[in-house]
Chain A
């Protein structure tokens, strides 16, 4: 019984830890970074944290954390509220069955991320269709490209943190 309670608390702490990482990345993703005459958009980069989401996290709390972080993302980028919470939650729902098969090495993990981003692009198109709005497809592709390029960097940081700070815990 006590062991069960400890597991529940641990699962919640893991969800909150991941939520903090997502929140920080959401804030950073809304910053401006100019490089060789172009403003580099990082709006899709927080999705990497969802792809890395720890498998032991409490699912109900995960949805709440994803919802709140998505709402903050919407508020900060000035879009209609509700889009990013839906994208975050759908994204996590899609990636959740594959959380246990994460330890496959960077290349395969990266490839999985590319496929996952493709599916999320379809979600965006669906949201656009519902909202009767015009979506900048070129912009979505560009943002996805940036997130794909940033992926190995965050993978390295995660690996470093896992091995040094969290003692090998996912």
Chain B
């Protein structure tokens, strides 16, 4: 009996060890294949995200209740100060609105004179979503939102909070989407200073505060400058608010993101059609089509006399000046 038990134990240990080795190798394989080619598990990933998004929506409801309770106590305790601040801001904004209306009329007149379209790139359509999972992990900073392709979200769309730019969509499922936050190590966004309109690239560092890189002239950037998207990358629209510049002692430009002013709960997605680079194949096709057109038209165009005769256009009389 003991002998059989010993054999069974050894078999169990051996099978466990074998399972561990196989699964560890599979995990390693997934890790490296996922890094080099994200599409291997893409379909499974979006399915899990769709399920996770729905599950998290319901499972975290009690937590949301707690959050809202805490927030409402906090809001009540600051109600008086908040009211005073809002009154002051309302007074300031009334003046700003009057100026903005005057500017809009002026802009409209100028655009009519110059025949240009001064409309902003920021789309009018917004898709409201809830950030059901916000991950600030050691490897990745991303978020899962509960809208997907069914609601019109597509890859590359900008995601905003009420305070500013949150990130952009990197993967779209039918009911959920994965958002790469500005703080993520892989995030690169073309930005500019609202004051000097100097360009730079905002680079995520897997920390709360991303940095500005490719700053051509440091003199164009100063502490407190408001950073907005420049639209130069053709991926995000121009003018989305990002944050304010902070200069460190060693001269590095960091950006305090506006999104950190409040909890991120509700967000909205801007469906924006990114500007794609010209397609080489299309150009080749066009050239072929043009050549084909030309092959039909050229003989008629070159044969001026025939065309002239057909259209009853008299040939230009020879004045004899060419011979002088």
Contact = CB atoms under 8 A, between A and B. Distances in A.
The range of chain A's interface size is 35 or more
Contact of B27 (A43, A70, A136): A70
B12 A78 contact: no
Contacts of B34: 80-82
A157 to B, nearest CB: 15
Given A31-B59, A31-B63, A76-B144, A39 B136 contact: yes
A131 interface: yes
Interface string B26-44: 1111111011000001001
Contact of A28 (B20, B31, B59): B59
Judged by DSSP, the binding face of A is helix
Nearest to B18: A60
Chain B contact-residue range equals: 35 or more
Given A60-B12, A76-B52, A136-B206, A86 B24 contact: yes
A138 B206 CA distance: 10
Contact of A63 (B5, B8, B19, B131): B19
B13 interface: yes
B63 A33 contact: yes
A79 B140 contact: yes
Contacts, number: 158
Interface in A119-154: 124, 127-128, 131, 133-140, 143
B112 interface: no
B147 interface: no
Contact of A82 (B29, B144, B178): B29
A101 interface: no
B134 A76 contact: no
B206 A76 contact: no
B3 interface: no
A82 B136 contact: no
- Which 5 residue pairs of A and B lie closest in terms of their CB atoms, listed nearest first? A82-B31, A59-B16, A82-B30, A78-B142, A75-B48
20 contacts: A31-B56, A32-B134, A32-B264, A33-B67, A35-B70, A36-B70, A59-B12, A59-B13, A59-B16, A63-B23, A76-B49, A78-B144, A82-B31, A82-B34, A86-B24, A86-B27, A89-B24, A134-B185, A136-B137, A137-B138
Interface of A: 4, 27-28, 30-37, 39, 41, 43, 58-60, 62-64, 67, 70-72, 75-83, 85-86, 89, 93, 124, 127-128, 131, 133-140, 143
